Structure 1
Amino acid sequence: MTTPLEGIRFSVLDRSRTREGEDGGRALRDTVRLAREAEALGYHRFWVSEHHSVPGVAGSAPTVLAAAVAGATTRIRVGTGGVMLPNHQPLVVAEQFGVLESLFPGRIDMGLGRSVGFTDGIRRALGRDKEDADRFAGQLDELLGWFTGEQTAHPQVHARPAEGLRVPPYVLATGEGAAIAAAAGLPLVIGDLKGRARLLEAIDGYRSAFRPSVWSSEPYVVVAGTVAVAGTEEEARRMLMPEAWSLAYSRTRGVFPPLAPPERITALEMTDKQRGFYESGLQGHVYGTEEQVAAELTRAVQETGAQEVLVTTSTYDRTALLDSYRRLARLAGLTPA
């Protein structure tokens, strides 16, 4: 008997979140270990992210970390979720992915986003400003041209070894980014599952405006969000607490901190403003027992028509996180490697 989730790809995005009392090296090594576990469980792809000057995130160089992940695995697709293109020169990004694809042929994905550093100081350090995000569509066109050999911005310059390779590009988007993905004829990665109405509107707009390209002949939608599966609903909700508190702290203190254990968060005296952000951070995610999560994911997939789910869960307890991925693999019917 088939289930509504059969045929849907499930993948993992890990942000290399740091935990209280641990350094960035531990977080990065844990990302590589999680990638091996995800491969063994049958997940389709494993992506890493780009953040700069964030105390709670160690993943600042996604193509470097992707190389480590690809070198530690053998089958799972590996990529970025994503490289923030406004922070970089398209030629350099093409060269980096050309090297990755040459070393690990047929396994590399190029997930691309349009965000810039989230503070003025970070943007200055990167040599960028807020308006650079508006250049994303043009940068994307140039980047793809380095692979096809059709870029015209820099005559007689070639991206080696990228030119002639086909590294699948994906656009990470909310709102305007979905329109850019449609115009470029690229797959769309969009979240979060908690903002369902806005999500559905963006996906509908993407599908209606999609123009086939050499990269993709038809729309392809990946929905991204937090999914937590445990033996009880309360245990699953407990997994959401560290990230919710980090979000609340960042919104009130301006710094995104390492993940704290749930028992410490429970004992905190929060301001009314922090409590509001914290409670909001716990809402709208997909969490619960295997039966509850299967039902909610089925509804999400049916509403969005997505071909793939990208799970972006972060929590303090690594054992609980791995158990959640194991339970999710089971309810999704993934085939272990």
Structure 2
Amino acid sequence: MSTFPDGIRFSVLDRSRTREGEDAPQALRDTVRLAREVEALGYHRFWVSEHHGVPGVAGSAPTVLAAAVAAATSTVRVGTGGVMLPNHRPLVVAEQFGVLESLFPGRIDMGIGRSVGFTDGIRRALGRDKDEADRFGERLAELLGWFTGEQTAHPQVHARPAEGLRVPPFVLATGEGAGIAAAAGLPLVIGDLRGRDRLLNAVDTYRASFRPSPWAAEPYVVVAGTVAVAATEAEARRLLVPEAWSLAWSRTRGVFPALAAPERIEVLPMTEKQRGLYEAGLEGHVHGTEEQVAEALERAVKETGAQEVLVTTSTYDRAALSESYRRLARAVGLTPRIP
């Protein structure tokens, strides 16, 4: 079995994907259940995501969902991967995380991203434009200032109960976002593992331009990607089928659907374009047996110098998903938490 550098951490991001035949409330309840499972397995963090108006994703309010996860667990760190800052006022985000940290002290992470709404209609509903992402650095500085009491955008206004609290911030980034994280002196969460050259270039840029800050004295890199583990490589690849088809459908029909069973997908008629997108969606992810996955992740950690791996896996069969996380925990040598 492969070995990892001392101190390497493994964490989980769940996007609250819906399955055919189930509703969104069930997907949210299953996210909370999964959090309890991965906590017991010894994972370091459990994060939830933000998506608005996407049919196949139930997680639209990550700080609310994080509160439910934190209340159902006791030791795993809980956070967001992430709150999309262009969609919100920084004061409100600070207040929400201040409440979370007050209720669950020492366990909350603040993962922040720069994406805007999925479609023009969603952006209009949120009251945001595409160019809001261009102001991410400015908004991020304001957000951090609400915690330190040093923000200057709104004199004599204070974020309660956030001011004075220490909620670890992380920047979710691709490309130029790595430079924003470095300039702010914040930990970087970056993916995915499939585009290795681009990933390595962004990580190198981040480390080279990192400026120490009150939030982080040195660079901290979290690499994120899809990982699937099963008894055989073929079974692990099959776990990737529902998400690959969902992506192919969304890119040809404009709608992101609920996950379907692999056996149904495998007999579906596909256009040439859909077939190409579907096959591409299956390639490059870390998948296989425990030994194969451990070796692949060890290689990724060595190449990137990452201190942490954030795993996200979406598949139709929830029992197989749980088993994948159990196998991964064993493969990378996590120590189970004793209740």
Question: How far apart, in 1, do the equivalents of 2:29 and 2:246 lie?
Answer: 21
Per the alignment, residue 189 of structure 1 pairs with: 189
The runs of at least 4 consecutive aligned structure 1 residues that moved more than 4 Å come to none
Q: TM-score, normalised by structure 2?
A: 0.98
Distance in 2 (alpha carbons) for counterparts of 1:235 and 1:5: 29
1:170 aligns with 2:180: no
Deviation at 1:222, TM superposition (A): 0.2
| Same amino acid, percent of matched pairs | 83
- 1:256 alignment counterpart: 256
- Residue in structure 2 matched with residue 283 of structure 1 by the alignment: 283
Distance of 2:290 and 2:335 partners within structure 1: 17
**Letter of the 1:178 counterpart:** A
- Report the CA distance between 1:118 and its aligned residue: 1.6
Residue 234 of structure 1 aligns with which residue? 234
Q: Does the Cα contact within 8 Å between 2:2 and 2:332 map onto a contact in 1?
A: no
Corresponding residue for 2:61?
A: 61
Matched residues in 2 for 1:309 and 1:3: separation? 14
- Looking at structure 1, the residues matched to 254 and 181 of structure 2 have their Cα atoms a distance apart, in angstroms, of 31
Matched, 1:294 2:284: no
Cα pair 2:2 2:298 within 8 Å, conserved = no
Q: Counterpart amino acid of 1:232?
A: T
Q: Quote the residue 1:80 is aligned against.
A: 80
Structure 1 residue 267: deviation in Å? 0.5
* Aligned residue in 2 for 1:144: 144
State the alpha-carbon separation in 2 of the partners of residues 137 and 211 from structure 1. Answer: 14
Please give the alpha-carbon distance, in whole angstroms, between the structure 1 residues aligned to 2:253 and 2:67: 34
Shift of 1:8: 1.2
Does 1:123 find its partner at 2:102?
no
Q: Which amino acid aligns with 2:49?
A: S
**How much has 1:212 moved relative to structure 2?**
0.1
Question: Residues of 2 paired with 1:84 and 1:221: CA distance?
Answer: 19
Which residue of structure 2 aligns with residue 134 of structure 1? 134
For residues 2 and 52 of structure 2, what CA distance do their matches in structure 1 show?
43
CA offsets 1:119-177 (integer angstroms, 9 cap, x no match): 10000000011100101100000000000000001011000000000000000000011
Residues in 1 aligned to 2:2 and 2:180: alpha-carbon distance in whole angstroms: 35
Rounded to whole Å, the distance in 1 between the matches of 2:204 and 2:307 is 14
Q: Deviations over 1:252-285 (max 9, x none)?
A: 0000000000000000010000000000000110
What is the TM-score with the length of structure 1 in the denominator?
0.99
Shift of 1:331: 1.1
- Counterpart contact for 2:44–2:77, Cα < 8 Å: yes
> One-letter code of the match for 2:263?
E
Where does residue 90 of structure 1 map in the other structure?
90
Structure 1 CA distance for aligned equivalents of residues 252 and 35 of structure 2 = 33
CA contact (8 A) 2:98 2:160 kept: yes
Say if 1:5 and 1:332, in contact at 8 Å, map to a contact too. no
Whether the 8 Å contact between 1:226 and 1:285 is mirrored in structure 2 is yes
SS at match of 2:240: helix
Partner of 1:247 in structure 2? 247
The one-letter code matched in structure 2 to 1:211 is R
CA shift, 1:3, in A, is 1.6
| Cα distance between partner residues in 2 of 1:228 and 1:6 | 23
Which residue does the alignment assign to 2:314?
314
Contact 1:6/1:332 (CA < 8 Å) preserved in 2?
A: no
Q: In structure 1, what is the Cα distance between the partners aligned to 2:156 and 2:132?
A: 26
Q: What is the Cα deviation at residue 4 of structure 1?
A: 2.3
- Name the CA distance, whole Å, in 2 between partners of 1:317 and 1:195: 27
2:154 aligned partner = 154
Shift of 1:23: 0.4
| Structure 1 Cα separation of the partners of residues 311 and 150 of structure 2 | 35
CA shift, 1:7, in A, is 2.6
Listed one character per residue, the Cα deviations across residues 283-321 of structure 1 (whole Å, up to 9, x for unaligned) are: 110000011101111110000000000001111010111
Cα offset for 1:6? 4.9
* Structure 1: 5+ residue stretches without partners: none
Give RMSD over aligned pairs.
0.9
Quote how far apart the aligned CAs of 1:2 are.
Answer: 8.4
SS at structure 1 position matched to 2:256: coil
Cα separation, 1, equivalents of 2:88 and 2:196: 31
Give the equivalent residue in structure 2 for 1:20: 20
The 8 Å contact of residues 250 and 256 in structure 2, kept in 1 or not, is answered as yes
Cα distance between partner residues in 1 of 2:144 and 2:115: 18
Task: Give the whole-Å Cα distance in 2 for the aligned partners of 1:21 and 1:327.
Answer: 27
Distance 2:264 2:65 in 1: 31
- Is 2:8–2:308's contact at 8 Å kept on the other side of the alignment? yes
- Letter in structure 2 aligned against 1:262: P
Structure 2 residue ranges without an equivalent (≥5): none
CA contact (8 A) 1:91 1:159 kept: yes
Cα distance, 1:311–1:279 mapped onto 2, change above 3 Å: same
Question: Residue 226 of structure 1 aligns to a residue in which SS?
Answer: strand
Q: Which residue identity lines up with residue 176 of structure 1 in the other structure?
A: E
